[in-house]
Amino acid sequence: MSISVADSGVRLLALCFAMVALAALVYHVTKLGSPLVAPGALVRGALQLAAVSLVLAAALAHIFSAVAVLVVMFAAASVTAVRRSDSGLSGVWLTLALASGICVVLPLMLLSGVVPLEGVALVPVGGIVMGGAMTATSMAAKRALDAVDARYGEVEAALSLGFSERDARWEVARTAAADALLPGVDQTRTVGLVTLPGAFVGVLLATGSALQAGAVQILVLGGLLLAQTCSVAVTLELVARGRVCRDRLDRPRLSRWRA
């Protein structure tokens, strides 16, 4: 017997309610936090998805509106990366790191013809690449700055030995910033064995072809690896050169060595 759309909707709501209620119960019993955290997050996510769905339904019909959506997404990703890095106004430079990954990957995909210049393809693929680049950028900036703060004695020692400011910071921040690439590398290494990412599942459900779903997922993972690598490399360079910094901890100390 077939299930009507209305019946499916009721079952979906009931399942979501049951899962979030159980999550709230676990919060309460284990005292992880307020029981309202999980329900509040789900409600907010549902409202955001509803609003985005309405916008995308209109935006995907035209390439210019699809590009406008990507611009808004880029602005939101930039603000998020700056906030997470705790780098204050200097974090504005992270927009360059974020853009470096996106501006390398998307043109390659479009020029190759693998991704058509259509809103229905450009926005989803661009959003996935942008999200991965944002996470890598913010994580690399935060870890690099934390490393410079925590190991500042090593930075000063390198400066006293004649290293430039850029090289002294770079040596300390490099390994910490590189850690931001590990989640993407691990995801790629374990895809199909441990996880089935969203792009694979989405294409599989839409087309029923496992081969086509696998091809799309490999394309996405390759793009993510390149975008994240470029973004982390630029972020490290910005931190090493002092463009992205925590003024209250970093610059006052470096001024001694300039003198």
- Same domain for 114 and 208, yes or no, is yes
Both 15 and 88 in one domain: the answer is no
Please indicate, yes or no, whether residues 216 and 109 belong to a single structural domain of this protein: yes
Q: What pLDDT does 3 receive? A: 52
Kindly state whether residues 89 and 206 are assigned to the same domain.
yes
Cα→Cα distances 233→22, 137, 240, 244, 246, Å? 42, 9, 11, 13, 19
Ranges of the chain whose pLDDT falls below 50 = 1-2, 249-259
Based on the fold, state whether residues 29 and 109 are members of the same structural domain: no
Residue at 68 is within a domain: no
> DSSP 3-state assignment of 68?
helix
Task: Specify the pLDDT at position 188.
Answer: 83
Radius of gyration of the CA atoms of the chain, in A: 22
pLDDT score of 94: 93
- 82 lies in the same domain as 19: no
Tell me whether residue 70 is in a domain.
no
**126 and 26, same domain (yes or no):** no
67 assigned to some structural domain: no
**Helix %, strand %, coil % of the chain (to 5):** 80, 0, 15
| Helices and strands per DSSP (H, E), number in the chain | 11, 0
122 and 8 assigned to the same domain? no
Question: Does 65 map to a domain?
Answer: no
pLDDT tens for 45-78 read 888 888 877 777 777 777 888 888 889 889 999 9
Q: What is the pLDDT of residue 195?
A: 65
Q: What is the predicted pLDDT for the residue at 232?
A: 94
Instruction: Tell me, yes or no, whether 17 and 98 share the same domain.
Output: no
Indicate whether 43 and 145 sit together in one domain.
Answer: no
Question: Do residue 96 and residue 14 come from a single domain?
Answer: no
Total count of domains within the chain: 2
Range of the domain at 36: 1-59
pLDDT at 202: 66
**Residue 199 to residues 83, 100, 205, 241: CA-CA distances in angstroms?**
28, 23, 10, 37
Give the closest residue to 236 by CA, choosing from 183, 186, 169: 169
What 8-state DSSP symbol labels residue 36?
T
Check if the beta carbon of residue 223 is closer than 8 Å to that of residue 105: yes
Are 221 and 254 a contacting pair, CB within 8 Å? no
pLDDT, position 259: 42
Domain termination site, one of 27, 59, 91: 59
One domain for residues 53 and 83: no
